Amino acid sequence: MTLAPSEDRFLFAEERPAEVAQHGVWKILIVDDEPEVHSVTRLALHDVVFAGRGLELISAHSAAEAEEVLHRHGDIAVILLDVVMETDNAGLELIRRIRDTMRNSATRIILRTGQPGQAPESDVIIRYDINDYREKTDLTSSHLFTAIYGALRAYRDINALEHHQDGLEEVIAATSALFECQTLRAFTRTAEDRFPKLLAKTTAGKFTNIDMIWARRINKDGFDVIAATGSLRPLAGCTKFADLPEMLIQRFEELEKAGSLVNGTWLGGLYRESSTLEYVFYMEGLHALTPTDRNLLDVYMRQATSAFDNLVLTQQIDETQREIVYRLGEAVESRSQETGNHVKRVAEISRLIARGAGLSPRDCDIIFYASPLHDVGKIAIPDAILNKAGKLTPEEWEIMKTHAIKGYEMLSNSERPILKAAAVIARDHHEKWDGSGYPEGRRGEEIDIMGRITAVADVFDALGSDRCYKKAWPLDDVLALFRHERGKHFDPHLVDILFDNLEAVTEIQQRYSD
Amino acid sequence: MTLAPSEDRFLFAEERPAEVAQHGVWKILIVDDEPEVHSVTRLALHDVVFAGRGLELISAHSAAEAEEVLHRHGDIAVILLDVVMETDNAGLELIRRIRDTMRNSATRIILRTGQPGQAPESDVIIRYDINDYREKTDLTSSHLFTAIYGALRAYRDINALEHHQDGLEEVIAATSALFECQTLRAFTRTAEDRFPKLLAKTTAGKFTNIDMIWARRINKDGFDVIAATGSLRPLAGCTKFADLPEMLIQRFEELEKAGSLVNGTWLGGLYRESSTLEYVFYMEGLHALTPTDRNLLDVYMRQATSAFDNLVLTQQIDETQREIVYRLGEAVESRSQETGNHVKRVAEISRLIARGAGLSPRDCDIIFYASPLHDVGKIAIPDAILNKAGKLTPEEWEIMKTHAIKGYEMLSNSERPILKAAAVIARDHHEKWDGSGYPEGRRGEEIDIMGRITAVADVFDALGSDRCYKKAWPLDDVLALFRHERGKHFDPHLVDILFDNLEAVTEIQQRYSD
C-alpha cells in the first residue's frame, strides 16, 4: 500500500472544518477571599455562552481550596485568581504549583488584583506564567466578559491541539502494537482493543461499546473480517460479501463509489490496494466526530491496513515454506513407501516435546519447520535397497545407514537457522542415548537435542501407523517399547515428557490421520 | 520488539523539561492608520524580551498593507489591530481573512479601538475570533506590555503544540514509508532521507547535513549499519564493532551503560531487543533539541527499529524458503547425477525471461521461487532408469516421462501460489510448442506460460553445462539449436526474449558456475 500524498490526507476533504456542537460546559474557577467578588463575577458571567457551551462557575475562597478544586477537576478552562489571600502572595504561589507541580499549562490564568502595589504588573507578568493581569477596579462587566472570552478561545485552541496530539500518540502506539502482532488472532484482538482507546482521544469522548467492522474484500466476493465490535461482532466469521446484512451491503456499495463517507450516524472508508483487494471500514453512531477526528481515524486505518498487509504477507511466506517442506518431506517418504501425514505429525509432536523440554519459543518453531526433513537423505539411497521386500544384507544396511549423513550433507553449510537445524536432525535422528546408534555412535547429550527429540517423535509415530510392511502397533505396545528403551534408545527425560503429553500427542495423530 | 510502557516513553526522563534558549525574534505586527500610534507602541515595546527573544516590530498603515505583510511573514506572533482604517470596519474584515481565508489560527490578535462605539466590545469579541479587545485610551504602557506578554505566551504554547503535532505526523508518515520498504537498501535510503525531514520539525529547525549513525549489534561484535549520514556516512560498510573509530566505541559503551544520553553536542539511544541483539542510534551537533523533540526522536527510533526488525524477519523467512527449494531441487538433481547450481541458474534465467515477457512482478517472483522444483517428480523414478548408462528402452522411457506428472501430483492441490505454480511447471516443462512434448501433448498457449519459460531456461542451461555423460556445448551450438527449435520445441516469442538478453543470461551462468 502507498500512503496518499499529504494533500489528500483528509478523509473527507469535500467538507469544510466546521464548529461541531460541543456538549458540556466550560469550567471557570473563581479564586478570591472576598465573598462579594464571587457574587459580582457570577452576575457578570452567568449567561455567557461560548462555542455552544455555557459556563460552570466554581468558587474557591483561598489558594488552598483552589488547589483542591484543581485536583478534583482536571478540566478547568480559566482561573480568575486573586493575589492576596491566606498570605500576601498566596495567589502567586498557587500559579507556580499549577504550572510546575501539577504540570498544567493549558488552564488560562487571569490574575485579578485589588492592591496593584503588592504585585506590580510588569514584574508579575514576567515572573509568573499567567495569561492576563487585571486590576479589579479596571475590570468592568464588559471587560471581564472580554477577558473570559479571549481566555476561553485560547483554552479551546490549546485543548484541541493537545487532544489531537494525544490522538496522534495513540495512533503511533496502536500502530506499534499492531505491527508487533505475529498471528491474525492477536491482530484482531489488538485492533478491537485499541479502537475504543483511539476514539476516547477524539472529541467524541469515551466509548466502551462501538459498532465497528473492518474487513478485507478479495475479488469483490471474498470477505474476511479483520475486526468487529459491538452489535456487528456476530459478523466476525462471515467470509462472503453476499452473506452480509442487506444494510451493510448497501453501505459498502456506497463506499465503493464514494471512497469515504460520513452520513449522519455512520462513517466509512475504503482503502483500495489493487484491482482485486480492498479494505473497508465502517462504524456506526458517532456523528460528533470533527474533521480532525476523522482525519485521525483515517491515518490510523491507513497504518493499520499496512500492518495487516504486512502480517498476511509474512504469514503467507511462512506457510508456503512449511508446505514446501511437508510436500518434499512427504515425497521422500513416499518413495520409501511411507505416505500420508507422517512428516506433519513428526513436526507437531517434535514441537510439543520441545516445548515440554523448555526449549525457547524460537527453537520450538525451528524444530517444527526442520524436523519434516529428517529423512531427506533417503533421496540418495537406491530404491533396490530402500524398498527391498526382505531383510537387508549387511552391505545393504551400511548403504541404508548413509541416509543420515547424506541428508546432513545436503542441508549443511547453510547460514539459515532452519536449514542448520534440519541438517543436524538428519544426521542425529538415528543416534541412540546409550551410544549404540548411527552414523557416529554419539551418546547422551553429545547427540543434538533436536535430533533426540525428532527420534522420539519419528519412532513413536511410525510404530503407531500402518505401513505396507506392518500394521499399526496398539498404543500399549508402543508405550511398552518406549518404557523399555527409556535411557537406552531414547533420552529418558524426553520419554517422560512424551508420557506426560500423551493426550495432546493422540490429538495430533487424530487431526493429521492418514 | 516491545514498546516500553508509556511512563518510560521519555528517552531522557532524568532531565526536567527546561526552557531552551530560542534563536530569532518574536514578530509583532502593528496595524494602525495613525502614525503616532506606531511611535508610541514602538516606544513602549522596544526593549521587551520574552523567553530569551526580543521583538521585531513591523508596521502596517492599512488593513491591505497588513495583509501583504502577513503573506510575506508566516510567523507573526501578535497583531495589534486598529478597527477603523480604509473603511469603518477594515480591521474587523481583516480578522476574517486571517482566520478563514489564510487559515491562520495561531497568530494572536489584540484589537485596539479608538472609537468603542464603532465596534462594541462584547459584540466584537463574540463575532470575531480575536484574543483580546482594548480601548486605546485604556492601553497604558504597562497594560500594553501585559497584553503583549500574555499573547506571546499563548502564541508560544500553540506554536509548540502545532510544531509537535507536525512532528508526530512526520513520525507517522516516516514510519509508514519505512514499513513499505521491501529491501534493506530501500530501507536505508528511506531512513536517511526521512531523518532530516523529521529534524526539520523539531525546534532545532532545518538541517541538510546531519551526522547520524543507526546500527544493529549482534553478539556485541557483529555490527550492521542501517543508515549513516554526513561525516559518519563512510562508516556505512562497517561490519565489526571493533573497526569503528575509537570515539564512537567509547560513546556506544557509555550508551551501553546509560541506555540513552544527551551529552553536550551529541545524543544517543540504545534499544535492546534480546541478550544478543540491540540497536544503537547516535547523532552529533544538535544541542538545541528540547525534551519534546528528543521524545519525538525516541518515538521515531522505536517505530523505525520495529520496521527494520520486521523487514529482516520477512527477508529471513523468504531467503530460507528459497534456500530450502534450492537444496531439495539440487538433491533431486544430484540423484540424477546433475549437480551444482543448475537449479539456481534455472530460477534466475526463468525470472529474467518472465520479466522480458511482461509478467507481473509478482509472477516473476513466483516463477523464481517455483522453477527450481521442476524436476521434483524424479524422486519417484527408480534409479535403474534415472541413472541408466545406455539408452532407455521404450518401456523405461515411458516410466521416465512420468516424472512430469508425478511432480505435479506431489505439489498440486495446494492453496499456495508458489506451490500451485511449481506443480504446473513440473507438469508442463517437457511440453513442446508444436504439441510433440509430454505428458499431455499440449501445444502453443495451452502450455502454461511458466512451463514454457522454465523449458527454455532448463534446456538452455543444461546444454551449456558439463554433465557426467556429456561436455558442455559451445554457446554457438546452443544458440543454433534454439534457432532451429524456435516455434517447434519452444515458444518463439520466449526464444526471442532469450536472445535479446543473452548478456544477462551469461552473467547469471558465470555468477552461479558449477
How much is the pLDDT for A347?
93
pLDDT digits (tens, 9 = 90+) for B141-169: 888 998 999 999 999 889 888 888 888 99
Question: In this structure, what CATH number is given to the domain that contains residue B502?
Answer: 1.10.3210.10
How high is the pLDDT of residue B200? 81
Tell whether B463 and B388 lie within a shared domain: yes
**Best mutation target, B176, B339, B375, B415, to test chain A (most A CBs within 10 A):** B176
Q: State whether B379 and A332 contact (CB < 8 Å).
A: yes
Q: Would the pLDDT of B279 be above 60? A: yes
Q: Are A240 and A219 within 8 A, CB to CB?
A: no
CATH code, domain carrying A53: 3.40.50.2300
Residues in chain A with CB shorter than 8 Å from the CB of B380 are 331, 334-335
Residue A20 covered by a domain: no
Task: Tell whether the model's pLDDT for residue A504 goes beyond 70.
Answer: yes
Query: Residue B407 in contact with residue B376, Cβ under 8 Å?
Result: yes
CB atoms inside a 10 Å sphere around CB B204: 18
CATH of the domain at A185: 3.30.450.40
What's the rounded mean pLDDT across residues A266-278? Answer: 83
- Same domain, residue pair B292 and B350: no
**pLDDT above 70 (res A39):** yes
In this structure, the answer to whether residues A377 and A486 fall within a common structural domain is yes
pLDDT of B1 strictly over 50: no
Q: Judge whether residue B74 has pLDDT over 60.
A: yes
User: What are the pLDDT digits (tens) for B462-495?
Assistant: 999 887 777 899 999 999 999 999 999 999 999 9
Radius of gyration (C-alpha) of chain A in whole angstroms: 36
Are the beta carbons of A175 and B175 separated by less than 8 Å?
A: yes
**Cα dihedral A334→A339→A341→A344 (10° resolution):** -30
Cβ neighbors of B397 (< 8 A, separation 6 or more) are none
The answer to whether the beta carbons of residues B146 and A132 sit under 8 Å apart is yes
> Is residue A21's pLDDT more than 60?
no
Q: Minimum mean pLDDT among A290-304, B70-84, B473-487: which range? A: A290-304
Lowest-pLDDT range, A205-209, B115-119, B338-342? A205-209
If pLDDT is split at 50, 70 and 90, which confidence band does B286 have?
Answer: low
Q: In chain B, which residues have their Cβ closer than 8 Å to the Cβ of A321?
A: 317, 320-321, 324
- Matching residue, cell 500524498: A5
* ipTM attached to this prediction: 0.72
pLDDT of A302 above 80: yes
CA dist B163 and B293 (Å) reads 10
Structure confidence by residue, pLDDT tens digits, B444-459: 999 999 999 999 999 9
Average pLDDT, chain B: 86
- Interface probe with B: pick from A110, A125, A371, most Cβ of B within 10 Å: A125
Say yes or no: A303 and A412 in one domain.
no
Q: Are A456 and A354 in contact (CB under 8 A)?
A: no
d(CA B318, CA B198): 32
Judge whether B90 lies within some domain.
yes
B346 and B471 part of one domain:
yes
Please tell me which residue, A379 or A364, carries the higher pLDDT value.
A364
A residues 32..91 contacting B (CB < 8 A)? none
- Please report the pLDDT score of residue B193 as a whole number: 87
Whether residues B348 and B497 share a domain: the answer is yes
- Considering the domain architecture, whether residues A148 and A206 belong to the same structural domain is answered as no
pLDDT, average across residues A278-285: 84
Output the nine-digit C-alpha cell for B260: 540513552
Task: For residue B452, tell me if it sits in a domain.
Answer: yes
Contacts of A324 in chain B (CB under 8 A): 321, 324-325, 328, 418-419
Which of B282, B313, B344 is the C-terminal boundary of a domain?
Answer: B313
- Mean residue pLDDT of chain A comes to 86
Report yes or no: A396 and A385 within 8 Å, Cβ to Cβ.
yes
Residue A4 pLDDT > 50: no
Whether residue A488 is contained in a domain is answered as yes
Cβ distance of B125 and A164 shorter than 8 Å = no
- Whether B139 shows a pLDDT value over 70: the answer reads yes
Is B328 among the domain residues?
Answer: no
| One-character DSSP codes across A461-502 | HHHTS-BTTBPPPPHHHHHHHHHHHBTTTB-HHHHHHHHHTH
pLDDT band at B307 (very low <50, low <70, confident <90, very high): confident
Q: What is the CATH number of the domain that holds B257?
A: 3.30.450
C-alpha cell at B345: 541458474
Same domain (yes/no): A266, A185: yes
pLDDT for res A460: 96
Instruction: List the domain range (segments joined by +) for residue B476.
Output: 336-511
Look up A470 and say whether it is catalytic. Answer: no
Q: Which residue in chain A has the smallest CA separation from B321?
A: A321
Give the least confident one: A68-72, A251-255, A428-432, B458-462: A251-255
Closest chain A C-alpha to B149 CA, distance in angstroms: 7
Task: Tell me which of A201, A344, A378, A406 is the catalytic residue.
Answer: A378
* pLDDT for residue A1 is more than 60: no
Mean pLDDT on A26-39: 95
Q: Looking at the domain assignment, is residue A163 inside a domain? A: no
**Which of residues B454 and A312 earns the better pLDDT score?**
B454
pLDDT range class, residue A280, cuts 50, 70, 90: confident
Give the pLDDT confidence of A323-370 residue by residue, as tens digits. 888 878 777 776 655 556 888 899 999 999 999 999 998 899 899 989
| Cell numbers standing for residue A16 | 469544510
B81 CA to centre of own chain: 46
For chain A, what is the domain count?
A: 3
Q: Among A9-13, A265-269, A400-404, B256-260, which stretch is predicted with the lowest mean pLDDT?
A: A9-13
Of all residues in chain B, what percent carry a pLDDT higher than 90? 42
Residue B357 lies in a domain: yes
Region of poorest pLDDT, from A321-330, B9-18, B225-234: B9-18
Strands B108-113 and B76-82: parallel
Task: Kindly state whether residues A153 and A198 are assigned to the same domain.
Answer: no
Indicate the angle between helix axes B184-200 and B291-335, nearest 10 degrees. Answer: 170
Tens-place pLDDT, residues A217-252: 888 788 889 989 888 989 988 888 888 999 889 888
Q: What band does A15 get if pLDDT is binned at 50, 70 and 90?
A: very low
Q: What are the C-alpha distances in Å from A315 to residues A269, A310, A349?
A: 26, 9, 22
Task: Categorize the per-residue pLDDT at B13 as very low, low, confident or very high, splitting at 50, 70 and 90.
Answer: very low
Q: B151: nearest CA in chain A?
A: A131
Task: Look at residue A6 and tell me whether its pLDDT is greater than 50.
Answer: no
Q: Which residue bears the cell 528528543?
A: B294
The residues in B 367-386 lying below 8 A from A, measured between CB atoms, are: 376, 379-380, 382-384
pLDDT of residue B60: 97
* pLDDT (0 to 100) of residue A10: 34
Q: Are residues A440 and A364 in the same domain?
A: yes
**pLDDT given for residue B179 in this prediction:** 87
Q: Does B326 touch chain A (CB under 8 A)?
A: no
In this structure, are strands A277-284 and A260-263 parallel, antiparallel, or unpaired?
unpaired
| Burial status of residue A97 (CB atoms within 10 A of its CB: 0-12, 13-18, 19 or more) | middle
Task: Using the predicted structure, report yes or no on whether residue A9 has a pLDDT greater than 50.
Answer: no
- B313 reaches A (C-beta below 8 A): yes
Mean pLDDT within A189-208? 78
- Percent with pLDDT over 70 in chain B: 91
- Give a yes or no: residue A323 inside a domain: no
Pair (B366, B462) in one structural domain? yes
Lowest model confidence (mean pLDDT) among A14-28, A195-209, A381-395, B341-355: A14-28
Predicted confidence band of residue A431 (pLDDT cuts 50, 70, 90): very high
Chain A hits for B149, CB-CB cut-off 8 Å, are 125-126
What stretches of B282-360 show up as alpha helix (H) in DSSP?
A: 291-335, 342-356
Contact B418 A320 (CB under 8 A): yes
Q: Copy the grid coordinates of residue B81.
A: 489591530
Contacts 24+ apart (CB under 8 A), B85-89: B85/B31, B85/B32, B85/B33, B85/B61, B86/B33, B86/B62, B88/B118, B89/B118, B89/B119
Task: Report the alpha-carbon distance of residue B475 to residue B481 in Å, rounded.
Answer: 10
Judge if A452 and A494 occupy the same domain: yes
What is the spatial distance between Cα A16 and Cα B24, in angstroms, rounded to a whole number? 35
More confident residue, B354 or A465: B354
